[in-house]
Amino acid sequence: MKKVFVQTFGCQMNVADSAEMLGALVARGAKETADIDDADIILVNTCTVREHAEHKAVSYLGRLEKWKAARSGRVIIFAGCAAQRLGEKLKKSYPFLDIIAGAKGIENFGGVLDESGLFGAEHGGDIIKKSTVTDFVTVMRGCDFQCSYCIVPSVRGPVKCLPPKDILAQVKMLVARGVKEIVLLGQTVNAYKYEGIDFADLLEMVAAEPGVERVRFMSPHPLYITPKLVDVIKNNPKIAKHVHLPAQSGSDKILKDMKRGYDAKTLLDKINALKNAGVLVSTDIVIGYPGETEEDFNDTLKLVDAAKFSFAYCFKFSPRADTPAASLKNAVPDKEVEKRLDILLNKIKGLAAAAYDSAVGTRQEVLVETPYKGRTSGNLWVKFPSKQQAGNVVTVLIKRSDGTLLYSE
């Protein structure tokens, strides 16, 4: 039996895609191993959203030449977003690479394996997965936006939504394995639409599945934060009171240049609607987009102050080939970008601590993830004084906060 080692780079979507690709390998007789030296097949699932991510994936591939040479018959599969962007030309520099499977073809990954002729007639079973408290379900793939800095639409293609019946079947299967928290995934997950069923409807359907304790989703686009969606999140106790909503910038000029489709005021209105529904909001911010002035950056700081995000991922702008922003000449000097990033990270640290501190004295429903730790509905980590059973939901009084962790009674 062939053994496969999986190496995933990038976002949660890639984690879910890796599981799907592993499923196709297992169905062809392979078995997962956590030991790369023991493996016959390596599946590398890659990211290209920023140059650094792609570089990491490609340099990992470079190091696999020795691994492959150490034993005959070994197979290397390079999959995902960087594989989609670089394509067959990878084989010029890495002739030892066996299969390139780009992100657009994930649904047909099994077909790619069969065509390669590297997998025989051996039949396998299903993945035997360790049961986890949280698991991911992809509900849509691709993106129909064209943000000027972003390579995702070109490597993942246009939006394709999965039928609700397939999504619910997947949820049922996970619940039967003991999963309690379902995270619905999509590049612009709340743009979901399938024969009259929108994302708010889908959220309610998933939350109504017996055995589902909590539903989260990632990542929504601000334009699809509708009053209906806010109401559903507010009124359904199983839907987590946390939304990760990428803002990208707080400057109207930069948002327009980025082609995000909203200005800072529209965005703040949506954030406030969520916060008024009891939801904690976190975000993504890009620093140093070409032409970002001190004033633009200050507008981002103003937005961050007004929104009081519970957390933020901050990225330095990275020019990606063939995106409109890559050819812009007015780059912000790296020293300036570093300075701005520092200021922003400091502010975010303070806001994250404030989000933790403000939970002190409240009662929280916590989903237990490990014997001594769990997460609130708002996605804050809680430490328990005594051992708990993973998968249970416990109601606890929050006694104190150290700014990164809550301590319960």
Q: Please, are residues 240 and 215 in contact by the beta-carbon 8 Å criterion?
A: yes
Cis previous bond, 282, omega within 30: no
Task: Quote the least distance from Cβ 186 to ligand SF4, whole Å.
Answer: 10
Task: Quote the least distance from Cβ 146 to ligand SF4, whole Å.
Answer: 6
Distances (CA, A) of 285 to 87, 245, 249, 306, 309: 29, 10, 6, 15, 11
Residues 118-157 that bind ligand SF4 (CB under 6 A): 143, 145, 147, 150, 152-153
Given its phi and psi angles, is residue 211 left (phi above 0), alpha (psi -120 to 50 degrees) or beta?
left
Selection from ligand 5AD, ligand SF4, none that 153 binds (CB < 5 to 8 A by kind) is ligand SF4
11 vs 352 by CB, closer to ligand SF4:
11
40 vs 336 by CB, closer to ligand 5AD:
336
Selection from ligand 5AD, ligand SF4, none that 221 binds (CB < 5 to 8 A by kind) is ligand SF4
Task: Quote the least distance from Cβ 145 to ligand 5AD, whole Å.
Answer: 11
Complete DSSP assignment for 241-292: SEEE---B-S-HHHHHHTT-S--HHHHHHHHHHHHHTT-EEEEEEEE--TT-
147 vs 352 by CB, closer to ligand SF4:
147
128 contacts: CB under 8 Å, gap ≥ 6: none
> Can you tell me the distance from the alpha carbon of 20 to that of 14, in angstroms, rounded to the nearest whole number?
10
Selection from ligand SF4, ligand 5AD, none that 145 binds (CB < 5 to 8 A by kind) is ligand SF4
Q: Which residues of 301-340 are buried (b: 16+ CB within 10 A; e: fewer)?
A: eebbeebebbbbebbbbbebeebebeebeeebeeebbebb
Selection from ligand 5AD, ligand SF4, none that 315 binds (CB < 5 to 8 A by kind) is ligand 5AD
Q: Please, are residues 337 and 287 in contact by the beta-carbon 8 Å criterion?
A: yes
Sign of CA dihedral 219, 109, 86, 15: positive
Told to check if 18 binds ligand SF4 by CB under 6 A, we report: no
Q: What is residue 48's three-state secondary structure?
A: coil
Q: How many residues bind to ligand SF4 according to rule CB under 6 A?
A: 9
164 vs 324 by CB, closer to ligand 5AD:
324
174 vs 184 by CB, closer to ligand SF4:
184
Selection from ligand SF4, ligand 5AD, none that 286 binds (CB < 5 to 8 A by kind) is ligand 5AD
Residues 197-236 that bind ligand SF4 (CB under 6 A): 221
Task: Quote the least distance from Cβ 275 to ligand 5AD, whole Å.
Answer: 20
> Can you tell me the distance from the alpha carbon of 229 to that of 246, in angstroms, rounded to the nearest whole number?
17
Told to check if 315 binds ligand SF4 by CB under 6 A, we report: no
150 vs 355 by CB, closer to ligand 5AD:
150
Question: Which pairing describes strands 160-161 and 214-218: parallel, antiparallel, or unpaired?
Answer: unpaired
Task: Quote the least distance from Cβ 179 to ligand 5AD, whole Å.
Answer: 25
Told to check if 187 binds ligand SF4 by CB under 6 A, we report: yes
Angle, in degrees to the nearest 10, between helices 12-27 and 109-116 = 50
Told to check if 270 binds ligand SF4 by CB under 6 A, we report: no
Selection from ligand SF4, ligand 5AD, none that 317 binds (CB < 5 to 8 A by kind) is ligand 5AD
Task: Quote the least distance from Cβ 248 to ligand 5AD, whole Å.
Answer: 6
Q: Please, are residues 19 and 52 in contact by the beta-carbon 8 Å criterion?
A: no
Task: Quote the least distance from Cβ 195 to ligand 5AD, whole Å.
Answer: 29
Q: Residue 98's closest CA among 123, 67, 121?
A: 67
280 vs 406 by CB, closer to ligand 5AD:
280
In the complex, the residues that contact ligand 5AD under the rule CB under 6 A are: 49-50, 149-150, 246, 248, 284, 286, 315, 317-318, 320
Told to check if 244 binds ligand SF4 by CB under 6 A, we report: no
Q: What is residue 27's three-state secondary structure?
A: helix
Binding site for ligand SF4 (CB under 6 A): 143, 145, 147, 150, 152-153, 187-188, 221
